[in-house]
Chains A and B, each alone.
Chain A
């Protein structure tokens, strides 16, 4: 069966350190993968999209890698700040109907302490 796995345990790190979050998937062959940020009681907000032919993508302090052999994406936040504390969701596209549908992971909660 198809599955997307993100670490359900919260990740606690100290301010200034690099946070690394993992997204593993099975039985998908996505053309791209997305990462979203969600704050408590609010809707997710898009952060980055990485395509299957891209190894790495960066945006300011954010970096995403995509390894289609390992079926894994890593999401890095460098020089983390308390304001980065949130839940981060990965999402894969599912194109079996010829129309974009996203399948979301359960998310990993990041807590950055001062």
Chain B
């Protein structure tokens, strides 16, 4: 089955801790995205990557970092600089060719202890 997987489903972060959210796709898509979803605010773009070894900041990149060393993988690190990390995090991918739908993973809910 082709698709996007995210792990873990729930993640707990302690004060001052960095945590990494995993996103893997086997759709052979070039472009990948990370969104944050808060109640009543819709999806906000954190980072996106058009190709391997390249990524750009989205609208709310502060306190987050990413890497794109492999086409299939686009992990997101929530650093201690992100003061309000509690949210639902969604990873998505597209072929990157334009005018296309985004395929989303099941999401990771991050909670602060």
Q: Which of B75-103 contact A (CB under 8 A)?
A: 88, 90, 92, 94, 96, 98-103
Chain B residues touching A, range: 20 to 34
Residues in chain B near residue A44, CB distance under 8 A: 43, 90, 102, 104
Residues in chain A near residue B105, CB distance under 8 A: 43
- Does B31 touch A at the CB level, under 8 Å? yes
Q: Nearest-CB distance from A35 to chain B (Å)?
A: 10
Interface centre among A97, A100, A104, A106 (most CB of B within 10 A): A100
- If A41-B107, A100-B31 touch, whether A46 touches B102 (CB-CB below 8 Å) is yes
Query: When chains A and B are docked, how far (Å) is the Cα of A99 from the Cα of B95?
Result: 11
- If A42-B106, A100-B31 touch, whether A105 touches B42 (CB-CB below 8 Å) is yes
B90 x A43 contact (CB < 8 A): yes
Q: Mark A46-61, 1 if CB is under 8 A from B, else 0.
A: 1001010000000000
Q: Which of A32-79 contact B (CB under 8 A)?
A: 32, 34, 41-46, 49, 51
Q: Which of A59-114 contact B (CB under 8 A)?
A: 89, 93, 95, 97, 99-107
